[in-house]
Structure 1
């Protein structure tokens, strides 16, 4: 559950900055706005849990209506933590109280993923992009009123024009279990001419799967990037991508990795990758990618590397490639 979340990546640490504050663009006094006739939530979410950016859906177990506006380009103010060369984008998140009484705004966390592989964008705050409030702020919203927050998201240049998926998890006051909804759309810009990501449809059913290829189990382990030599060996990194081929959300990546070097399969380490928190959901029919860093003995480079991916049910998939 998100109430027990543990931030485990640099992206997640930066995303925590999102909780620094909020803006309510519908009122210059910073008060929640009142919508005389709130738009009814779309029914698409009842079938797949996914709606289009700009549409609304129910969340927080039916107590709130939530919408996320399509992304537009933004100006990153001085001090905003946007990596050099990345695109600064913004979106508007609106929560409408659909109960008949005053209610405390549910704690809301967003995850923005782009491209077929589902890599994560970096959330940031800045002038006019204060983000969503913290749970302890205890923002109250009147019946039928809408609370709006402006959220900043940064993505690398090659994400321009790609598909985007927003995961919104709301946790009501006094509850630990979050309610997740998903929004699909497209990022501003034009898709570059670079080749797209390998599709889960093009899988390998062999006993050993080449690195960079999808396995029939819906897992892909990328080729390895090897860094400079350190005192304890060579730094290395890869990307783990997990496809959710079900019609309901998948909780967490749920895959442990074991690394073996050389022909003798000498174990070099293990890793249990997590998204921005341990049980972060993956939308139905979508994928999520996480970068994994590990260390290999200096003498293992160059040479073969075997990666064993272990699912929660104990089934294993073997990937093989080279360190160079």
Structure 2
């Protein structure tokens, strides 16, 4: 039977702290090549986030916090107060890299929270200690999500997921994939269907890469095939990740999640969101207050090819929001490290976050 050691051999850490740098998987090279990228300066971390070399809520939160570590590591002056002001300035710069995923701000703020202004040397040591703890704790949270989510999965089920909320979106093990990996280790016979997830194709490039390496039976479908699959009884459960969850349970996730939830509701298929509690933003009441990131239209018109040719005429216009908001009423439950909560009852875990 497959176990954690097996998965550790198959799935390397997405974000890893080394003595003087942060090591990440360059996700733009997958699935063709597994390439690791050294982040040595804080601008490297910002660039990796903006250029999608690292993506996924937990992973960019980890790299954002890593940017603070790198900024601190390379700081040469000795005044502790100036050092703290410098880190606060860098923190604001890092947080601007991606506006929707709340984990980015969470990671940066957590590593600096109540940092005592002592000496530059001691502050650097404390930042490194905190960063190491963040990485370890987040993996532990994912394992807990897997344990709770696994209780929902029965042998013989087919689970559909959207985008990549797998190990690559986290430090390791993932959120939406955590119940799947846990079911694998329990010996359950399951199948996974993957939305290809345009325009970056995170499902067909990244989640498929994870399924292939871990030996899970998977099938890729185009995003618009989901209605067909559900209406023909080919999906038993949906598990997706999240980039930002409002206090009422409204959830921002990769574009296409909302219509997926609507179809699951129509066909009475359970629809779960899996996310660490850091993804829940108790400062906002509804998803209407979540800022939705829009990216370059070239991702739609130029970067995708049809038989090596652009998919659209040269003068075509495009609209490229990369997240949408799924209303809480369409979500069966939200799986966190604290258990499975009704989407409109997240206040019950607020005091534990």
Check whether TM > 0.5.
no
**TM-score after normalising by structure 2:** 0.27
**TM-score after normalising by structure 1:** 0.28
Counting helix residues as a fraction of each chain, which structure ranks higher?
A: 2
User: In terms of Rg, which structure is larger?
Assistant: 1
RCO higher in structure (CA 8 A, sep ≥6): 1
